[in-house]
Chain A
Amino acid sequence: MARITRVLSATAVILGFFGAWELLCRLLHVSDLVLPLPSQILVTLIERFPDLWPHLIQTIASTLAGFTFGVLAGVVIGVMVGSSRLAYDTLYPLLIGFSSVPKVAIIPIFVIWFGAGTIPAILTALSLSIFPVVVNVATGISTSEPELEDVLRALGASRRDILWNVALPRTLPYLFASLKVAITVAFIGSITSETIASNYGIGTVMMVASANFDVALLFAGLALISITGIALYGLFSFAEARFTGWATRKSAVA
């Protein structure tokens, strides 16, 4: 019962936001070229959806490809940084330096190396999603409780046994928390790359719409990006709750 009221009130507030937007634009006679009405955006989104759809798929595919490789690399680097002093002293500074560079500045280099199109989008998504994963996995590994490790060490467990049975499972909540961040920034990364150098993908659509002063389409693109972003985030939140319920003490069996 309480859950239903929660959902209803949340929906009411969100609908109220768009209602207020619509109402203010109509009352103040805001030009379509500055800020289109939510209703207009919705209509454009539905009308142009068949055109937008393949671009969206392209962007999501680049995002997921970059994200997957980014997470794999991030986990490996994170385990190294979290368990080895040497890796912490060498890899970590390098990684922080690399992550401090705005990705917009790196995309042209990717383009020179691999040409415009899908690969720079994937690489941008990859390079953005590595960092949050490394930081979280390294934290999880390095804060592993020695008591838990002693239980296995007393049994004669090898370092590998301890990694697989204590350090990694314990790190899962940290990993999943970082996946939510990583998927979001990977999505931003691939769109950014597409706006700079591609002729396909939702980022490209936005650039073309901007050049044509098609403000309604621009906003429709934004709406689509937001909805997809929410969906991706939701997907990984769900996975997090499913696999690391023990960390939040949910009785749902992991």
Chain B
Amino acid sequence: MDQSVQSESKFAVEAGRSATSAEQPSKVIELEAVSVRFGQGRSGTTALGETTLDVRKGEFISFVGPSGCGKSTILRLVSGLVRPTNGVVVVGGREVGVKALRIGMAFQNASMMPWLTVERNVMLPLKIVPPFRADYRRKRKGEFRDRVRALLAQVGLSDFADHFPWQLSGGMLQRANLCRALVHDPQLLLLDEPFGALDQFTREELWGTLQALWLDKRPTVLLVTHDLREAAYLGSRICVMSARPGRIISDTPVPFAYPRTLETTYEPEFIALGKRMRELIVPVQTSGGSA
């Protein structure tokens, strides 16, 4: 079992290497022997074991694994919210900290500013991120407003642009959250269990919404999820992580063509893939302590 996992991940990594050596700039993220520890000495915990990962431009990578395995830590590393204890994180060809790429991020909690309308919330990145911020004052009532409205229309929130966040349902808030993460045309989109708090029907609906947005603009996406169907429905690659201290134990391409539909998830190959992923995680989860 273990061996097959290793050979599988090695194969995927090698495939990644050979593809990128041909066209160097397409490599968007490189993690080289990165690990993260919080706290000092014995009381400290290792949030992320030694991890090496390459992500190419336009990929949609799903991270799955038991809770507390450091999936979110990878996103926080890439976004610069967390510094690596060891190793190097390179994003957009530069060591992280220097903003070489425009990054969009959405968390499980929609985190809308309660004092702003949905429209103003979605517009927030345009106020912060260059080059948009220079034009914010001039364009917020014109071009930027149209841009936000168009995005909201794409996710079916046109009628709620002037509402305040507390007037929206959880699913609507996550739609707005996706819009906010995408409004500044990020080259890299980081999603930390964005649909984790939603019911199944809303979640499946939003998979379609997210997929459409992704196919439209084609940013590179890292998605953390604990839903295997979600990981396989959306991802072009699935990384399975072990229990704490987390490492990537499998890195598998997802062979289905986009755009995928809910029908795809009922195909035998899809179900088989889900089953394989599940078998990778479950023994890991039960033997987590000894690993």
> Could you say which of A156, A169, A244 contacts B99, with CB atoms under 8 Å apart?
A156
CB of A254 closer than 8 Å to a CB of B: yes
Residues of B within 8 A of A157 (CB): 128
Residues of A within 8 A of B166 (CB): 246, 249
A85 to B125, CA, bound (A): 29
Residues of B within 8 A of A154 (CB): 79-81, 103, 105, 190
Residues of A within 8 A of B79 (CB): 154
Whether A155 lies near B113 (C-beta < 8 A) is no
CB of B207 closer than 8 Å to a CB of A: no
CB of A10 closer than 8 Å to a CB of B: no
CB of A39 closer than 8 Å to a CB of B: no
- Taking the nearest CB of chain B, how far is it from the CB of A123, in angstroms? 34
CB within 8 Å of A: which of B126-145? Answer: 127-129
CB of A111 closer than 8 Å to a CB of B: no
A112 to B117, CA, bound (A): 53
Inter-chain contact total with CB atoms closer than 8 Å: 63
Size category of the A interface is 20 to 34
Q: Given the known A-B contacts A155-B128, A157-B128, are A150 and B107 also in contact in the complex, defined by CB atoms under 8 Å?
A: yes
From A164, which residue of chain B is reached at the shortest CB distance?
A: B127
CB within 8 Å of A: which of B80-125? Answer: 80-81, 99, 103-105, 107, 109, 111, 113-117, 124-125
- Taking A148-B113, A151-B180, A169-B113 as known contacts, 17 extra A-B pairs with beta carbons closer than 8 A to each other, sorted by chain A number, are A150-B105, A150-B107, A152-B128, A155-B103, A155-B125, A155-B128, A155-B129, A156-B99, A156-B103, A165-B113, A165-B124, A170-B113, A246-B114, A246-B115, A247-B114, A249-B166, A254-B115
Chain B residues at the A interface, C-beta cutoff of 8 Å? 79-81, 99, 103-105, 107, 109, 111, 113-117, 124-125, 127-129, 162, 164, 166-167, 180, 184, 190
